[in-house]
Amino acid sequence: MAAAPPQDQTALLRVEEAIVAELRRQLGGAFTVDELVEHYEQDSSWCMELALRLEPELPQAWDARVADAAYGRYVRGAVDFAGGRRLEQKR
């Protein structure tokens, strides 16, 4: 995203933020890294559909890397995520 042309940055960020908001809606409150990974693997095609709806004239916004950036941003809120390391859950 940071390497994108400056004129595309606002649109790409808008799509990323919309995907993060949708992840929040779909996953609800507390979630684990594994749950987010499973969610991504099950079907992340909705991200492209959302991007296409928001930015129909900007193919760069439909790139899977925008969705990956959103998932990467969202994973920071996982209950078992700590600065790039997974926290071991006490059982």
The pLDDT tens digits of the residues spanning 39-72 come to: 999 988 999 999 999 999 999 999 999 999 999 9
pLDDT grade for 17, boundaries at 50, 70 and 90: very high
Q: Which of 79, 62, 89 is nearest to 4 (CA)?
A: 62
3-state secondary structure of 49: helix
Average pLDDT over the chain reads 89
pLDDT at residue number 77: 92
Query: Considering just the CA atoms, what is the radius of gyration of the chain in Å?
Result: 14
Domain ranges of the chain: 8-81
